[in-house]
Structures are given as C-alpha cells and as structure tokens.
Amino acid sequence: MLKHRTEAVISDLVDAAYGGQAGHSGRRKRHVLRHALYALVRLAKVEQLLEMRLDAERATGGMVSVAQRRHTKALLRKIGMDVHADQARLEQDWAAARATRVAGEAAAVPKGQPCADIENDCGNS
C-alpha cells in the first residue's frame, strides 16, 4: 500500500517508463529508476529546506557575519568621506563663482542703479 503521494507519483513514472518489460532486466531497470527518483525527491527536499533556512537568516539578519558588517561600515564611511569632500569642493566653487559674478556685476553697474538679475547681492538697496 502506498503511503505518500510521492510514492504514487514515482510508481506511476516507473510504470510509464518500464511498465511492460518483464524478466530480470525489466525488474532491475524499474528498481534503479525507482531509487533514482527517490534520491531526486530527497535532494529536492534538502535544497528546499536549505533555501528556507537561508531566507529565514536573511530576513532576521543573522547571516551577516562580523567581517561583512565591518566591511560594509568601512565602505559606508568611505562613501561618506567622498560625499563630504565633494560637498566642500562644491561650496568652494560656488563661493568663488558668486564672488566673481558679484565683483564683475558691481563693476559694470553704476552706483545707485539696482542689479537686474541679482537681488540684494550688489550692495544696493
């Protein structure tokens, strides 16, 4: 009597492959195929359990080792340093461009005339 659905499916597959063959050779082929299919089912179960464990570890964060955390922190620190350096460089460039523009426009605009493009940056009220 078949206990599990897997056994029924394996039995049907063996019958479909070697159902009509009689004799020693037919029994041997049926036996080999049946055990190969059982091994395949066991392997699939192990792989499924492994995937479930890995998914659970990923969800809980348990898979991250100390070395991986340290490496990630170092990368984030480097990215942060690069961002701060770029921000400082942009602020310097912006200040230099603003000073150059204000100096150029102040020289071009006569005293007492308001600046057309810049609000309150010419020193005029």
Residues 53, 11 within the same domain = yes
Report the sign of the C-alpha dihedral through residues 23, 29, 33, 35, in that order: positive
Which residues form the domain of 95?
A: 64-103
Count of structural domains, the chain: 2
Residues 72, 58 within the same domain = no
Residues 57, 69 within the same domain = no
Residues 26, 18: contact at Cβ < 8 Å?
yes
Q: Render the burial of 79-112: b for 16+ CB within 10 Å, e for the rest.
A: eeeeeeeeeeeeeeeeeeeeeeeeeeeeeebeee
Per-residue pLDDT of the chain (125 residues; tens, 9 = 90+): 456 788 888 888 888 888 777 777 788 888 899 999 999 999 999 999 999 988 887 777 765 677 777 888 888 888 888 888 888 888 888 888 888 887 776 666 555 555 555 555 555 54
pTM of the model: 0.44
Residues 70, 42: contact at Cβ < 8 Å?
no
